A and B are shown apart, each in its own frame.
Chain A
Amino acid sequence: DQQVKQNSPSLSVQEGRISILNCDYTNSMFDYFLWYKKYPAEGPTFLISISSIKDKNEDGRFTVFLNKSAKHLSLHIVPSQPGDSAVYFCAASAGEAGGTSYGKLTFGQGTILTVHP
């Protein structure tokens, strides 16, 4: 199942710089997208989401951009902090479209972000 893909297994950035994490999807029924952060031995922690009716959503240091025509979304973290080091998962849902999905999330493989002091 490759409906959601995160092609970069890892990303390394310097503290204070921007981190850009990318995600591509293939299922045109997806209309709700989320980013989760995960530390080892913990469950995924919700960060930010975006509906397909928007192309940008911002929450503090985190901004998600959605390009529907390219079926691509990205998460920007500015400025990056060492505490941001974690695995970041992109997830998608076909919540409203067709009304047949009751919240099922399809996840990408994750990108390991390392922020160096």
Chain B
Amino acid sequence: NAGVMQNPRHLVRRRGQEARLRCSPMKGHSHVYWYRQLPEEGLKFMVYLQKENIIDESGMPKERFSAEFPKEGPSILRIQQVVRGDSAAYFCASSSGQKETQYFGPGTRLLVL
């Protein structure tokens, strides 16, 4: 049973470009969470999705960031017009239920030049 998969593992973008981060949850998991870890800071919650629905996006920046979890395929975290401050590690986690253990992927490290 493969764990949570994220790709790419490393992503380099220039300011103004778009970044797309993908997360494939563990088999049987329909709940996905995105977290961001800025340099020298702890992990911070961004958004919680359950197939085709955004349940909680209280941690998402108001502009440029969006997330989706379609019926088929991975969850996507999309960052438009990236800025240097977006450089961070983005972690995805999945669970089988709202209060169940979250299993984390290896993360995507985004570097904005």
Tell whether A and B belong to one assembly: no
